[in-house]
């Protein structure tokens, strides 16, 4: 799969079914030596500038369960979720 094909896909959490973001709005951490993707960083944001801004969420590449035509399904374990919220 090409990086350009990931662009508009939504990121959905498997446990909650929650839409977490879109890959085109996120950053990718790419290994400099072999070019593999290590993680996706979803930027923290608030709802139309209102409310409390959430922290950035780092999604390790190995947390991806399935990449479909329109979405990427991820499963984060509880420790990763709690660590990113601190």
pLDDT digits (tens, 9 = 90+) for 44-75: 765 555 655 678 889 999 999 999 999 999 99
CA–CA gap between residue 8 and residue 21 (Å, rounded): 10
CA–CA gap between residue 55 and residue 21 (Å, rounded): 13
* DSSP letter, residue 12: E
Beta bridge pairs of residue 21: 11
What pLDDT does 32 receive? 92
The string of pLDDT tens digits covering residues 2-52 is: 778 888 899 999 988 888 888 888 888 999 999 888 998 988 765 555 655
pTM of the model as a whole: 0.71
């Amino acid at each position: 799969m090409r990086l350009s094909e990931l662009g508009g896909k939504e990121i959905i959490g498997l446990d909650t079914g929650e839409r977490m973001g879109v890959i085109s709005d996120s950053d990718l951490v790419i290994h400099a030596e072999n070019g593999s993707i290590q993680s996706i960083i979803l930027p923290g944001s608030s709802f139309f500038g209102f409310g409390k801004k959430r922290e950035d969420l780092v999604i390790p590449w190995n947390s991806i369960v399935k990449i479909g035509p329109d979405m990427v399904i991820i499963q984060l374990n509880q420790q990763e979720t709690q660590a990113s919220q601190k």
